[in-house]
Amino acid sequence: MEFTVSYASFTTAVSDINKIISSKSVIPILSGIKIEANEYGLKLTGSNSDIFIERTIPLLKSGEKVVDIKEFGSVVVLSKYLNGIVKKLPNDICIKLGRNDSITIKSGDIETKLNGFNANDYPKLPEMDRNTKIEIPFGKLTEAIKQTAFAVSKSEAKPVLTGVKMEFEENKLICTATDSHRLARREVTIESKTTESFVVPSTSLSELTHLKEADSSIVEISYTNNFIVFGTAMSSLYSRLIEGVYPNTGSLVPTESKALITMNTQVLIEGMDRACVFSTEWKHNNIQLEIVDDATIKISSNSTEVGMIEELQKIIHIEGQNDIQMSFDGRFVLDALKRIPEENVTIRFDGLMKPIVIQPQNDSTCLHLISPVRSY
Amino acid sequence: MEFTVSYASFTTAVSDINKIISSKSVIPILSGIKIEANEYGLKLTGSNSDIFIERTIPLLKSGEKVVDIKEFGSVVVLSKYLNGIVKKLPNDICIKLGRNDSITIKSGDIETKLNGFNANDYPKLPEMDRNTKIEIPFGKLTEAIKQTAFAVSKSEAKPVLTGVKMEFEENKLICTATDSHRLARREVTIESKTTESFVVPSTSLSELTHLKEADSSIVEISYTNNFIVFGTAMSSLYSRLIEGVYPNTGSLVPTESKALITMNTQVLIEGMDRACVFSTEWKHNNIQLEIVDDATIKISSNSTEVGMIEELQKIIHIEGQNDIQMSFDGRFVLDALKRIPEENVTIRFDGLMKPIVIQPQNDSTCLHLISPVRSY
């Protein structure tokens, strides 16, 4: 293997992949980046326990030559040192495979030698049936992920709840996440005939949202029994799937409500944020929401230890009862509100100890369900 | 106590002081900010174990009223919550002391109550003899600190080495720091007749450099047996002094040299930085400096585990021997070089196992001494 690559293309790709690699992997070769020089350019692969990322540096970019390959081949080198060195080099980088899987990296007057691993020992990526693929614009996909993935369970007690359920129905993708105290759901319209359902680790989806792709670029989703692949023009992200039966959440959403209020999203966020200042004081970040009358809600929080905070906010519109008082985990309410870009939100109350439903006004594709906490 | 204060003045002051306060102080009242309303305005005081910072918000700023005091008084409230709340308030802040040392904070429609402590229980600050003061421009003082404080010992084994020695002689301040493997010294000219010497914790000096003061503003230094105070127009920083006999470092600096080379500072920094990429591999971040001939040095580092890096750099000027080869802790060399803003540096070699001296070219007020490490 021998090639010369432009400084910018190589350092960007190495640095992006390095971010997901743990330098403390129990399998030493997984602390490495696999570099492969072939007829299409360079392919770099890195992994953590959940995902593999494959990134291609093509021979040409916008007509300019960025990779010049003298000899095909592949090797795995420790990502930490490769990344540490290449970003400090002065200009274009020439890499040559030597004896015992070591590589020589040359740039200007600087010569570095890094020990490596035999590329044949690197785990094989699962073979995907690229025919069964689903296409979705990157921006739509990542928006649905961001609006739901925050609500997954942080505990490993029920592994299936640490993932986002992605249900593909005809022309529809529904993302659902819940930690059994709250639930976030988002529906997006896509062009697809596939009916499939996966539970994808939220950590993998978070890496996916970090890929630097244009919102309009198309992501191709393909899958096997255990793996799902999100492919864009330059990168492929392979994630394992979570096995297990995802709970049936459809029946949780209340169909009726005792009260429905419409509030300004931003004003409500600011008020909840203030009420959450004492939040480290409780296990459940306890804050109280009270419909005072037809025009006013009160947001309050108090702790005998620290003090109390209280404010009144205007209700834009109200239907139903005007005397409801309930306690919630303030962080959960804030998490949901912050994912709603619309100007106004509606909150539906179904009665004491029943979850509330938060939605953008006039938009049923996005839904947040939050269970109340008992207030003492 | 009752006052109204402008949002910007109060939140900035509280946030600045909050940065030094530990919310886990074993003495609960030290997790608080002391607020004092008097005839001059507001005085806020906060502390960690090493320092106290006092900050004044005057009644007027550039002719504008920023504080309106209705009733004098003082109280201590938990800094974490005070800071958490005030920055989220919509506008000017009205604070009133209530029963049991609790305060009410009002801003717009928001009302918060924070429990507090009796201000009389807050530790008294040491009384300073403000007549024995030394004056020095803020910029000069912080430059000398930044060029030396990084070299203090990180270990508590010899507490006196965790501080910077500040020696005031007639019209001169000499700052010295050493961890016994390296030494940094900087001399600045000041107008002063005082002859005094203190060892100040580097952590206190680091907080001092973070004060937002103009370089030309005057810092007044006063002291007692155990405390030193750095006072500016708006802030006073009280630090304890470190007791103990500081080692006599004057005799350590070699007076002769076997070789003296002049190098471009930035180019050398970049080369050392690359050679340090493998630095986590060794206890002593071992890098080798070799004078190859009259025009060239070689910087190299190698590890059987990881690989090696090597580069040649041009010597601008050389005096003495042209065949020296020594090993150093690369981080120490980098630390020193990065504090030298001048274009060129000189490095003096005194022979194998003797420390090298790094100085800006043509400037003897700044000096770095670095001991070699044995190379195996």
Identify the domain boundary among A91, A121, A151.
Answer: A121
Q: Does residue A219 sit in the same domain as residue A282?
A: no
CATH number for the domain harbouring residue A267: 3.70.10.10
The answer to whether residue A339 is domain-embedded is: yes
A207 conformational bin, left if phi > 0, alpha if psi -120 to 50, beta if neither: alpha
Number of structural domains found in chain B: 3
Q: Does residue A93 sit in the same domain as residue A191?
A: no
Nearest to B112 among A78, A115, A308 (CB): A308
Supply the pLDDT for residue A136: 96
Q: How many CB pairs under 8 A join A and B?
A: 78
Q: Provide the mean pLDDT of chain B.
A: 93
**Cβ atoms within 10 A of the Cβ of B99, count?**
5
In terms of residue numbers, what domain contains B104?
2-121
d(CA B301, CA B277): 9
pLDDT exceeds cutoff 60 at B376: no
Label residue B74 by pLDDT band (50, 70, 90): very high
d(CA B77, CA B29): 8
Q: Which of residues 76-135 of A touch B (CB under 8 A)?
A: 78, 81, 84-85, 88-89, 102, 109-115
Q: Does residue B178 sit in the same domain as residue B259?
A: no
Identify the domain boundary among B60, B87, B121.
Answer: B121
CATH number for the domain harbouring residue A38: 3.10.150.10
CA of B78 vs chain A CAs: smallest distance (Å): 8
Q: Does residue B333 sit in the same domain as residue B267?
A: yes
Q: In chain B, whose CA is at the least distance from the CA of A281?
A: B81
Q: What kind and span of H or E run contains B72?
A: none
Q: Does residue A155 sit in the same domain as residue A106?
A: no
Query: Taking each helix axis from N to C terminus, what angle separates B330-338 and B265-275, rounded to the nearest 10 degrees?
Result: 150
Q: Does residue B77 sit in the same domain as residue B170?
A: no
Q: Does residue B265 sit in the same domain as residue B307?
A: yes
A154 conformational bin, left if phi > 0, alpha if psi -120 to 50, beta if neither: alpha
With beta carbons less than 8 A apart as the criterion, state whether A91 and A107 touch.
Answer: yes
Q: Does residue A146 sit in the same domain as residue A223?
A: yes
Supply the pLDDT for residue B280: 66
The answer to whether residue B181 is domain-embedded is: yes
Q: Give chain A's largest Cα–Cα span.
A: 80
For chain A (length 376 residues), average pLDDT per consecutive 10? 97 95 87 97 92 95 95 97 95 96 94 95 85 90 97 95 96 96 96 93 95 93 92 93 93 88 97 87 78 95 87 96 92 96 96 91 95 77
Name the burial class of residue B212, with classes exposed (0-12), middle (13-18) and buried (19+) by CB atoms within 10 angstroms of its CB.
exposed
CA of B303 vs chain A CAs: smallest distance (Å): 9
In this predicted model, what pLDDT tens digit does every residue of B28-51 receive, in sequence order? 999 999 999 999 999 999 998 789
d(CA A276, CA A296): 20
d(CA B353, CA A323): 82
Supply the pLDDT for residue A375: 61
ipTM over 0.90: no
Label residue B87 by pLDDT band (50, 70, 90): very high
The answer to whether residue B246 is domain-embedded is: no
pLDDT exceeds cutoff 60 at B80: yes
Supply the pLDDT for residue A71: 98
Mean pLDDT of B337-350: 96
Q: Does residue B18 sit in the same domain as residue B104?
A: yes
The answer to whether residue A246 is domain-embedded is: no
Label residue B298 by pLDDT band (50, 70, 90): very high
Label residue B23 by pLDDT band (50, 70, 90): confident
- Tell if the CB–CB gap between A277 and B81 is shorter than 8 Å: yes
The answer to whether residue B274 is domain-embedded is: yes
pLDDT exceeds cutoff 80 at B192: yes
Supply the pLDDT for residue A109: 86
pLDDT exceeds cutoff 60 at B98: yes
The answer to whether residue B151 is domain-embedded is: yes
Q: Does B311 touch chain A (CB under 8 A)?
A: yes
The answer to whether residue A126 is domain-embedded is: no
Q: In chain A, whose CA is at the least distance from the CA of B32?
A: A306
3-state secondary structure of B269: helix
Please give the full DSSP string across B20-62, using - where no structure is assigned: T--TT-SSGGGGEEEEEEETTEEEEEEE-SSEEEEEEEESEET
Q: Does residue B226 sit in the same domain as residue B286?
A: no
Supply the pLDDT for residue B282: 61
In this predicted model, what pLDDT tens digit does every residue of A192-203 receive, in sequence order? 888 999 999 999
Identify the domain boundary among A121, A147, A164.
Answer: A121
Supply the pLDDT for residue A352: 76
Nearest to B307 among A115, A271, A312 (CB): A115
Supply the pLDDT for residue B130: 66
Q: Does residue A10 sit in the same domain as residue A106?
A: yes
Query: Residue B203: what are its φ and ψ, rounded to 5°?
Result: -65, -35
Query: Residue B101: what are its φ and ψ, rounded to 5°?
Result: 60, 25
Q: Does residue B106 sit in the same domain as residue B174?
A: no
The answer to whether residue A225 is domain-embedded is: yes
Residues paired with residue A302 on neighbouring β-strands, in sequence order: A308
3-state secondary structure of A121: helix
Of the candidates B141, B154, B156, B143, the one whose C-alpha atom is nearest the C-alpha of residue B228 is: B141
**Cβ atoms within 10 A of the Cβ of B183, count?**
23
